[in-house]
Amino acid sequence: MYKNIKLSASLMCADWLNLKNEIQQLEENKIDYIHYDVIDGRYAPDFTMGSSIIDLVTKSTNLPSHYHLMVEEPMRIFDRFKLDKNDIFTIHQETSKNLHRDIVAVKEKARVALALSPATPLEHMEYVLEDVENVLLLTVNPGFMSQKMIPQIVRKIDNLK
């Protein structure tokens, strides 16, 4: 029934004092990707891990990475990440001044995905949809974990499908 579904576990929700064990559990449960939420405090009102912390984690696992950048102008920090062709690099339509240029640049080093915040209409990705492998529709506003899902997103997911 569900084809091509991949699971990506966010480290934003991890117990940071027990991170090594939590990553082991993800590996044992055959998670598809480790999801890194990178937040700069500008686009989204919190801060998370930077590239130096992410590099330490990626050295300790063979799981592919899914980078979700909730930062203003994500390409300004793009080269700080050690990407593999199997990694997914997700940028927000709302944060990129030249979205097509940024998508093309990411595709040279990794798989590219486009993220949309809850209030961003699907039409905003109309002319770049063919250039991305995945679309990440946020079901909450960017920035904090444990928020309640915005109910209107169910309709948005159906419209994208």
User: Could you tell me the pTM of the whole model?
Assistant: 0.86
Q: Note the pLDDT of residue 22.
A: 94
Contact at 8 Å (CB) between 46 and 143?
yes
Over its length of 161 residues, how does the chain's per-residue pLDDT go in tens digits?
A: 556 778 888 898 889 899 999 999 999 999 999 999 998 888 888 788 888 889 899 999 999 999 999 899 999 999 898 898 999 999 999 999 999 999 999 999 999 999 999 999 999 998 999 999 999 888 888 776 677 888 888 999 899 88
Q: Note the pLDDT of residue 2.
A: 59
Structure tokens at 115: 């993220």
Phi and psi torsions of 30, nearest 5°: 55, 45
Contact at 8 Å (CB) between 113 and 103?
no
Q: Note the pLDDT of residue 140.
A: 82
Q: Where are the alpha helices (H) located in 10-152, listed in sequence order?
A: 19-28, 51-59, 99-107
